[in-house]
Amino acid sequence: MADKPENIAEELFNNRQIFLRYNQNNINRIQQPLFHVDRHVFTIIPRLLHINQEGLPGYVKGDVPCGIHHFQLDHRIQLAAETLFPDAIFRGNEEVEPFIHTILLMGSCGSIAQSRKSDLDYTLLVNKHSVSPERLGLFKQKLNLIEKWAWDEFNLEVHFFINDIQEVKNNIFGESDTESTGSAQAKLLKEEMYRTAVVTTGKLPFWWIVPLQTDDDQYENYLHLLRTRQTLLDPDAFVDIGNVDDISQGEFFGGSIWALIKSFKAPFKTLLKMGLLEEYMFGQTRFNLLCHEIKKKVFGGTLFDDIDTYVAMYERVERFFKEHKDENALDALKTSFVLKVGTKVTGEELVKGSPDPRKRTLINMYNSWDWEPAKLESVNAYFSWQMLDKVALGNRINKILMASYKNISEANKASGEESLISERDTHLLGRKLFSFYRPSQNKVENLFALVDGETGEKELTFMIHRVNPKDKGEWYLIRGKTLAFLEHIPKEQILKKAYSLQFLVAFTCFNSLFRKDTVLLLRAEQQSIKDQDLKILLEDLSSFMSQVSVASIPNEDLLTNARLRQLFMIVDFGNPIPREVMIGNLHDCKTPKEYAGFMNRKLERITSTTAIYLTTWGELFCKTYVGANCMNRCLAELRPMTPNREIDEDEFFKFFVPGSRKEKIDFSWLSRYIIKTLTFKKGNTSGKVESPDLKIHPSTSKSTSEGAREMEEAKSESPST
């Protein structure tokens, strides 16, 4: 019988041999697209994790956990070491208590979607409880240093994710944060782990050698045979992180929420992953997940070079789309696959073929789609598309994603099966979606979040349009330089319409439309912001504030009310700037009354104040206050959102004063006033801004010494003019 111990022992042994060959083939495939020096980095990383040696990347002083089970210093690692660190002397295979059980390289590496600079995402399987929290903290420092070294020296993104073996076996991957999916994906993540993981060194996942169609009970039986040495294998050569025979329907809802969030960073890849979730939700998944499909090919005699995890995922989703979606969705899926893969097949190669094995695979796929060479060339030229064409594709993808999410959500409710995602993670992930989709007054749209690649424009026109001279007018942001009347400008060239120039500036910077070589044209008269002001303003705001990835918003920020994360203010005194604003010296003020007069004379000349602020929920707002007391009205609204902690002024606040003057004007008094007013913590029962600088009392209510002390404190904190 097949389930006799001796038969099982033989099958496990044979499967191990096959998997080792398949895994080595994947390691070879990973190295092929890499730059020569990056291959050495890939090879040396296990060695850097195995030891803690001073002078090498990742060295941390102290009792740092290190060591990898079954690590061997071979000639490849020695060559990489000599190449990267010619002056270092590597210690031999010293005796250490190994902390890392295995190192798995996850994701698209080894597949057709790997590029020369694909991220190297490593999962390190460890027993967290075998070390103290302090030692685990040192280990994390070590990983951070290796990541930084790879990026600083080679511009190569390396990421390490620590997972506890027992937690992974129990389908626990930590709470939802910037990278972890928490309870949103449990077995889903394990299924992807088994499907895509390449063992770079360490123990082999036991799941990979058990027979096909192994249920949970059988898996535990096989594990018992291994551990009681009733097989031909060494139990210490394997790591047990659990079985995957099926995935509960209750898990797909949380997975779909997570997929929507990931779409803001990688829409093309997400469309394939969401399609796979929907196919799982409405298909037969028991022993029929994608990891089972890959495993069946490995043990079924398929040539290893013909097994590609990314192609397999695409083909499965494509079959589902053909049966359940329209042609528009299918075309978006094909386009997303081409753009995610990145390897360009020319129209000529599509017809004549290519000697490149990766391209041959793609050519066979594209020919099965009946794509014309012109269609392929158009998709290949994506990064030179007009911006609105990129946005249109992003919107198409978003609609398909939202429809899939709705289908999964409704099917989850109809099934009556409890969703496995925790209430806390539902709240956290929902907040992330809320921050992107919530419409709100004065909110600046994150319009290009679903666009992969460069969004900067070569030329931009900012134009005000008035029906008659008395109108306040509307502002238009236009692609390219144009002197045409509004009615003659093609609609596809109009990127944004807004009530103010300041809002267009915020929109332009937040969506990365401006770059330093962008040529600007300002078509407006009688504005304080002139041509030179506009360029400086865009440069200042772009360098100070940028779009936030929704997926990366920290949990602690989402679990509290939104606060100011960064504040940029445009303070307009008119152009030219009035003489009263430029003259005078704060240190000439001898009394509190003189100090108050100094400040008031300047603040009263502000004609408008614009606050462009990014919140801890990742939302950007832009609001302009005009007229008398506009500065204090602005600060009164912002004060409740100011963080209740010490802030780094350089990271938190910046301001700009239009004026187009060659000489630099000192506005340090203004900066100090804004920061002190925002962070002043005394009680305020009047409803007005209680500024620390202007809290001047009549002499009858405060002694001269108290008033002088307050003034001196204010002067001492203010930079010299």
Question: Which of the two residues, 274 and 173, has the higher pLDDT score?
Answer: 274
Beta-carbon contacts of 604 under 8 Å, excluding residues fewer than 6 positions away, are: none
C-alpha separations of 91 from 45, 73, 78, 319 in Å:
15, 10, 11, 53
Where residue 662 falls among pLDDT bands split at 50, 70, 90? low
Count Cα atoms within 13 angstroms, Cβ side, for 483: 0
Average per-residue pLDDT in the chain?
Answer: 85
DSSP 3-state of 19: helix
- Evaluate whether 107 touches 72 at the Cβ level (below 8 Å): no
Where residue 698 falls among pLDDT bands split at 50, 70, 90? very low
Residue 601 CB neighbour total at 10 angstroms: 14
Where residue 686 falls among pLDDT bands split at 50, 70, 90? very low
For every residue of 674-685, DSSP letters joined together read HHHHHH--S---
pLDDT in tens, 97-107: 899 999 999 98
Q: Which of 366-380, 433-447, 603-617 has the lowest mean pLDDT?
A: 433-447
Where residue 709 falls among pLDDT bands split at 50, 70, 90? very low
Residue 519 CB neighbour total at 10 angstroms: 12
Question: Which of the two residues, 6 and 244, has the higher pLDDT score?
Answer: 244
pLDDT in tens, 53-64: 888 999 999 999
pLDDT (mean) for 121-132: 95
- Evaluate whether 369 touches 437 at the Cβ level (below 8 Å): no
pLDDT in tens, 166-192: 999 988 875 434 444 455 457 888 999
Question: Which of the two residues, 663 and 593, has the higher pLDDT score?
Answer: 593
Separation of alpha carbons 312 and 587, rounded Å: 73
- Evaluate whether 195 touches 291 at the Cβ level (below 8 Å): yes
Beta-carbon contacts of 307 under 8 Å, excluding residues fewer than 6 positions away, are: 22, 294, 297, 298
Dihedrals phi, psi of 198, to nearest 5 degrees = -115, 125
Separation of alpha carbons 569 and 674, rounded Å: 10
Dihedral sign, CA of 540, 541, 543, 544? Answer: positive
Give the pLDDT confidence score for residue 58 in this predicted structure: 94
Percent of the chain with pLDDT over 70: 88
- Evaluate whether 193 touches 124 at the Cβ level (below 8 Å): no
pLDDT in tens, 316-339: 999 999 999 999 999 999 999 999
Give the pLDDT confidence score for residue 707 in this predicted structure: 34
Residue 234 CB neighbour total at 10 angstroms: 11
Q: Measuring CA to CA, which residue among 451, 552, 565, 570 is closest to residue 511?
A: 451
Token pair in block for residue 236: 């210490």
pLDDT in tens, 199-224: 999 999 999 999 999 999 999 999 99
Give the pLDDT confidence score for residue 570 in this predicted structure: 94
Give the pLDDT confidence score for residue 94 in this predicted structure: 58
pLDDT in tens, 465-498: 988 877 888 999 998 899 989 889 988 889 899 9
pLDDT in tens, 536-567: 999 999 999 877 766 677 777 777 888 999 99
Ramachandran quadrant class, 235 (left: phi over 0; alpha: psi -120 to 50; beta: rest)? alpha
Give the pLDDT confidence score for residue 716 in this predicted structure: 39
C-alpha separations of 452 from 196, 262, 390, 456, 617 in Å:
23, 12, 8, 12, 22
Where residue 697 falls among pLDDT bands split at 50, 70, 90? very low
Q: What ranges make up the beta strands (E) of 276-389?
A: none
Which contacts qualify for 88-96: CB closer than 8 Å, 24 or more apart?
Answer: 88/53, 88/55, 88/56, 90/47, 90/51, 90/53, 91/51, 91/53, 94/51, 96/50, 96/51, 96/66, 96/67
- Evaluate whether 570 touches 537 at the Cβ level (below 8 Å): yes
pLDDT in tens, 13-35: 999 999 999 999 999 999 988 99
Give the pLDDT confidence score for residue 2 in this predicted structure: 52
Give the pLDDT confidence score for residue 89 in this predicted structure: 82
Three-state SS for 443-485 is EECCCCCCCCCCCCCCEEEEEEECCCCCCCCEEEEEECCCCCC
Beta-carbon contacts of 231 under 8 Å, excluding residues fewer than 6 positions away, are: 5, 8, 9, 12, 13, 225
pLDDT in tens, 622-644: 999 998 889 999 999 999 999 87
- Evaluate whether 103 touches 49 at the Cβ level (below 8 Å): yes
Q: Measuring CA to CA, which residue among 605, 672, 679, 606 is closest to residue 641?
A: 679
Tell the residue number behind the tokens 């460069």, with chain if given. 454
Separation of alpha carbons 625 and 637, rounded Å: 11
Q: What ranges make up the beta strands (E) of 466-552?
A: 474-479, 494-498, 519-523
Q: Measuring CA to CA, which residue among 285, 290, 45 is closest to residue 160?
A: 45
Question: Which of the two residues, 642 and 88, has the higher pLDDT score?
Answer: 642
